[in-house]
Amino acid sequence: MFRAEPVPAARVLNEARALVRPALEETVAGLHPWLAEMAAYSFGWGEGAEAGGKGVRQALALLGARAAGADAAAGVRGAVAVELVHAFSLLHDDIMDGDETRRRRPALWKAYGTGPAVLAGDALFALAVATLAEVPGGVRLLSGTLADLMRGQADDLLFASRPWTGPEAVTPAEYRVMAEGKTGALLGCSLALGALLGGAPRPMAEALDRVGRHAGVAFQLADDVLGVWGRPEVTGKPAGGDLREGKRTYPVLSALASPEGGRLRGLLGAPDRTAEAAALIDAAGGRAAALSEARAHMAAARALLDGLPLEPGAAAELNALLECLADRER
Amino acid sequence: MFRAEPVPAARVLNEARALVRPALEETVAGLHPWLAEMAAYSFGWGEGAEAGGKGVRQALALLGARAAGADAAAGVRGAVAVELVHAFSLLHDDIMDGDETRRRRPALWKAYGTGPAVLAGDALFALAVATLAEVPGGVRLLSGTLADLMRGQADDLLFASRPWTGPEAVTPAEYRVMAEGKTGALLGCSLALGALLGGAPRPMAEALDRVGRHAGVAFQLADDVLGVWGRPEVTGKPAGGDLREGKRTYPVLSALASPEGGRLRGLLGAPDRTAEAAALIDAAGGRAAALSEARAHMAAARALLDGLPLEPGAAAELNALLECLADRER
């Protein structure tokens, strides 16, 4: 017997994009023309393929529906909603974080101004709510997700003003809660919303929500590793950017708790010594700790998946997608 | 027979505030503590009474429930939702418009920073949606309102970049659509949501929605008049501010279409000649046209109200509240 060919995540993502894009475009076309123009910019429509996002959330929504035994088409409405929420949160986060670049182009607030970008984000948020208004249980699910998203973003903003060390320092446990809110909640919502639309029983939808949350924490940890050691040509961001900005990332928090913590502390305020800091964090085990923590969350996600009576084809594609989420360099 | 005493609008507003405040505080307490702190600031809690808004929208929601024959308490959930939406829109509008002062205090974005104010607005928005998640028809109603709100705000922002005269100039008809979206939609939603919660039949809720929309346009027109001729000690804003900022307000649009339009055009770009411009707009009939248009919208609102089988006590209070909305100097 041959082993089954691994499912390429790229194919899953491409198929999801092709299925969801027309519905997403139709939804956005209902906006005020100026807001629709800003939405199109933020989705990267009309630009090269790489201008758009990978569309992980829409793919998860379709897989949620398929996992429950329905057609992927049953999840399209949920896919549209979560992509709208994701786009809204990127627009507003870029303003909050002062990030001037998004997917190798000027962030919307740099291209159109802060006020218009705030409004465009609001409009996408409202559109996501409208998309789910008639889905039983949809708005309740989305509301919980949004609350977690805001909490995660609030923590992330506040972390920056806390000391690196001492009793007020950010703990790895606080980091996990932040990452689950900021990144995991919407991934979980994507799966659960798709499952809901596909007619899944409630416990299955709830378990898929937890799968997405674990995957989100793993994704954020992988992102932290890329933020320190990622090659700029892959990440599209300058090397060592997270260190220069003083972000409380997991590798740094972990290394600070090691015997090298004192030496590292002295380097963190020096924007011209990020290469040295990165090497020290690595030597202190910060990178390994983040990757190990990411693996633990992916294992938890897979264990949950294995316990669910999912449609086998969808389960295979879901595993492939989660794999690719946590291994961002591929 | 004595004529019935007119109902004082201030009493209606005070009673609404007293009934809604505990529910609003409880809802906001569910937020991340930092977001709850910013929400309390924006509601003016803990400050003097004048720091908070009048609470017109919450009063309309309670009156909508009572108009349908239910207790005011039936409308509280709707009142909480519309006050949250109103607070969210003020927070984001102040950022978009660069307004540094709100109710005689620094706007939230001046007090906490732009990023935190964007996030606080998002959190209030999400909380409003969560509040209505279990109200049948509530999210659909709110979604339509939000879409109108975003359209109105988009138009208002874009108006500023259009010429004062010529084929590209803003028309009074465009102004009315903008004012209905920006101000009328949420007032209409407040009434309709209360009516919905009070068990009103759908046509009554829809008619009340239109009542609120007319009242909103009248309110905006009255606001425009205050923006040019209001006394700073009443409005809390500098005299002639709207003229200095080049806002496309109804008195100006109307005066530009008069024979004095050419002379007025020459004054509009001169920030030190606002007193002269205000006098010319008045002489050209701009103030009278705005007040006449406001009266027409209030008459339309009253005619709609008179045709509805509303609970009489609620109808009287509603009339008093609308009266006070359109006559802001009182």
Token pair recorded at residue A282: 């690595």
What is the pTM assigned to this prediction?
0.94
Q: Min CA distance, B124 vs chain A (Å)?
A: 10
Band of the pLDDT at B330, cuts 50, 70, 90? very low
> Which residue ranges make up each domain of chain A?
9-326
Q: Does B127 touch chain A (CB under 8 A)?
A: yes
Contact B129 A130 (CB under 8 A): no
What pLDDT score was predicted for residue B6? 63
Band of the pLDDT at A244, cuts 50, 70, 90? confident
Taking CA atoms, what residue in A is nearest to B91?
A118
Q: What is the CATH code for B9-326?
A: 1.10.600.10
Q: Min CA distance, A95 vs chain B (Å)?
A: 6
Residues on chain B touching A34 (C-beta within 8 angstroms) = 154, 158
Q: Min CA distance, B27 vs chain A (Å)?
A: 12
What pLDDT score was predicted for residue A330? 42
Residue B212 corresponds to which amino acid? G
Contact B154 A114 (CB under 8 A): no
Tell me the helices (H) and strands (E) count for chain B, helix number first.
17, 2
Q: Which of A35, A153, A154 sits opposite B150 (nearest CB)?
A: A35
Contact A92 B146 (CB under 8 A): no
Contacts of B257 (CB under 8 A, 6+ apart): B172
Q: Does B95 touch chain A (CB under 8 A)?
A: yes
CA atoms within 13 A on the CB side of A317: 24
| Cα gap B18→B28, rounded to integer Å | 16
Band of the pLDDT at A34, cuts 50, 70, 90? very high
Q: Does B133 touch chain A (CB under 8 A)?
A: yes
| B225, B291 Cβ separation under 8 angstroms | yes
| Cα gap B72→B64, rounded to integer Å | 8
Band of the pLDDT at A245, cuts 50, 70, 90? confident
B106: phi then psi, degrees, rounded to nearest 5: -60, 135
Quick check: helix, strand or coil at residue B30? coil
Taking CA atoms, what residue in B is nearest to A115?
B96
Residues on chain B touching A130 (C-beta within 8 angstroms) = 140, 143-144, 146-147
Mean pLDDT value across residues B41-64: 86
What pLDDT score was predicted for residue A135? 95
Among B143, B178, B189, which would you mutate to test the A interface (most chain A Cβ atoms within 10 Å of its Cβ)?
B143
Q: Does A160 touch chain B (CB under 8 A)?
A: no
Contacts of B18 (CB under 8 A, 6+ apart): none
What pLDDT score was predicted for residue B271? 82
Mean pLDDT value across residues A222-248: 83
- Using the structure block, give the residue that is written with the tokens 């996030």: B119
What pLDDT score was predicted for residue B235? 72
**B231-272 pLDDT, tens digit each:** 877 776 777 788 888 889 999 999 998 998 999 999 987 888
Token pair recorded at residue A278: 């990165």
Residues on chain A touching B35 (C-beta within 8 angstroms) = 150-151, 154
Q: Which of A35, A129, A150 sits opposite B119 (nearest CB)?
A: A150
Q: Does B39 touch chain A (CB under 8 A)?
A: no
Contacts of B198 (CB under 8 A, 6+ apart): B64, B65, B66, B67, B68, B69, B70, B74, B75
Q: Min CA distance, B51 vs chain A (Å)?
A: 25
| Cα gap B198→B167, rounded to integer Å | 47
Residue A272 corresponds to which amino acid? D
Cβ–Cβ pairs < 8 A, chains A and B: 121
